[in-house]
Amino acid sequence: MNLDVGAVSGPGRLAAPGEGITTDELALAARNHGLPLEALHYDVTPAGLHYLLTHFDIPAVDAATWRLGVHGRVGSPLAFDLEALRAWPRTTVRVTIECAGNGRARLEPRPVSQPWLVEAVGTAEWTGVPLHTILTEARVDPAAVEVVFTGADHGVERGVEQDYQRSLPLAEAMREEVLLAYEMNGMALPPQHGYPLRLVVPGWYGMAHVKWVRDIAVVDVPFDGFQQAVAYRLRQNADEPGEPVTRMAARALLIPPGFPDFMSRTRVVHPGPVLLEGRAWSGLAPVEHVEVSVDGGDTWAPAVVEGAGEHRWAWRRWTFIWQATVGRYTLSARAADAEGRTQPLTQAWNRGGFGNNEVQLVPVVCFE
């Protein structure tokens, strides 16, 4: 027998017209999970409700033997154990992180991968060492262009055996709010969120926030690893290089009001004033406005958006009072950022299903 990684792994593909969610996609959906939308209630997402996407397995890292190396185009290569890293000045940043593949399962044709509907988001208080202080200590060479982060997670994806690796342009890596985080919501990182150390890159989609970081390499040529050059590209066809996926597009989500049916998740409300509330965020310019529609996007009315100027990298709460009367409705919210970007009613398609910010549709029935 002549076996290799090709025996476990195929190329990416698109679902056939009408093809239901496959067992492979379901296995990913059963492992990973979104934010149950009622958890948009919390400013900071409680442990276990934050969305989670793990490419390979969650490593069980032993903090006693874990080490972080910083090397490459630097004047002073560094190495840390966890205790040494925790001795550096720390900071805490509240950050909303959304999976770059959020909304993928609603695309037509559907890219076959983790089948997110709309819920792959969460907000946490991340505490750790600003990355720029470590890079400054290491004395980055003027020839450096990117910083490559390697996680302890290992596997195969589309035929390529790999450690999970991603890079950041040097200017992004030096932003003051980029962290090497060892706490989430005031506790040690849970295993699934990167224990003992993860990268947090405020404003960027989740793929940039490398978990279980064990190695940082400063490089003088752009990184061309799988997760940088093959996956996480915006492209129409498999054979084009595409554009990199970077920052989160503006998005608003609403908490489905009233109460649900178990299977259809359709909501029931009774006539009268109904408080609609949710969250809105953007990784580009700050969110400034949120509008609400109760007719599937035909007409829109402004919501009240809270928290101006606070927590730039976290979602903002918004509210809207809906005077509900008997009938069937489709509720939506849409965010607009300070540079006028907003959300489409119909998502432009790309082959990876990345960067989706189509408006959410919440079916509601109102009766006495």
Q: Please give the structure tokens belonging to residue 110.
A: 């559907």
Site membership for a second copy, residue 279 (CB under 8 A):
no
Q: Do 182 and 143 form a contact (C-beta atoms < 8 A)?
A: no
Closest CB 29 distance from a second copy, rounded Å: 4
Q: Do 226 and 218 form a contact (C-beta atoms < 8 A)?
A: no
C-alpha 133/C-alpha 272 separation (Å) is 54
Site membership for a second copy, residue 124 (CB under 8 A):
no
| DSSP annotation string for 65-110 | T--EEEEESBSS-EEE-HHHHHTS--EEEEEEEE-TTTTGGGSSSP
Spatial CB neighbours of 47, under 8 Å, sequence gap ≥ 6: 184, 185, 187, 190
Q: Please give the structure tokens belonging to residue 289.
A: 């406005």
Closest CB 264 distance from a second copy, rounded Å: 6
Site membership for a second copy, residue 229 (CB under 8 A):
no
For residue 26, the SS3 value is helix
Among 112, 134, 144, 290, binds a second copy (CB under 8 A): 112
Site membership for a second copy, residue 154 (CB under 8 A):
yes
Closest CB 176 distance from a second copy, rounded Å: 29
- Let me know how long the chain is: 368
Site membership for a second copy, residue 323 (CB under 8 A):
no
Q: What are phi and psi of 309, to 5 degrees?
A: 80, -5
Site membership for a second copy, residue 197 (CB under 8 A):
no
Closest CB 200 distance from a second copy, rounded Å: 17
Residues 55-74 touching a second copy, rule: CB under 8 A, are: 55-58, 60
C-alpha 334/C-alpha 291 separation (Å) is 5
Q: What angle do CA 122, 201, 9 make, to 5 degrees?
A: 75
Closest CB 37 distance from a second copy, rounded Å: 8
Quote the DSSP letter at residue 226.
Answer: I
Site membership for a second copy, residue 24 (CB under 8 A):
yes
Closer to a second copy at the Cβ: 7 or 301?
Answer: 7
- With 0-12 / 13-18 / 19 or more C-beta atoms within 10 angstroms meaning exposed / middle / buried, residue 62 is exposed
Site membership for a second copy, residue 143 (CB under 8 A):
no
Q: Please give the structure tokens belonging to residue 103.
A: 């909304």
Residues 235-254 touching a second copy, rule: CB under 8 A, are: none
Closer to a second copy at the Cβ: 227 or 342?
Answer: 227
Closest CB 352 distance from a second copy, rounded Å: 13
Among 327, 340, 344, 348, binds a second copy (CB under 8 A): 327
Site membership for a second copy, residue 259 (CB under 8 A):
yes
Contact mark string toward a second copy, 293..312, x via CB under 8 A: --------------------
Site membership for a second copy, residue 8 (CB under 8 A):
yes
Among 85, 94, 107, 113, binds a second copy (CB under 8 A): 113
Among 65, 241, 262, 323, binds a second copy (CB under 8 A): 262
Residue 204's identity, in one-letter code, is W
Closest CB 13 distance from a second copy, rounded Å: 9
- With 0-12 / 13-18 / 19 or more C-beta atoms within 10 angstroms meaning exposed / middle / buried, residue 91 is middle
Closer to a second copy at the Cβ: 32 or 342?
Answer: 32
Q: Please give the structure tokens belonging to residue 227.
A: 């997760």
Closest CB 218 distance from a second copy, rounded Å: 27
Closer to a second copy at the Cβ: 24 or 176?
Answer: 24
Among 158, 298, 304, 349, binds a second copy (CB under 8 A): 158
Closest CB 102 distance from a second copy, rounded Å: 10
Among 26, 87, 221, 304, binds a second copy (CB under 8 A): 26
Closer to a second copy at the Cβ: 142 or 262?
Answer: 262
What b/e readout covers 148-167, taking b as 16+ CB neighbours within 10 angstroms?
bbbbbbebbbeeeebbbbbb
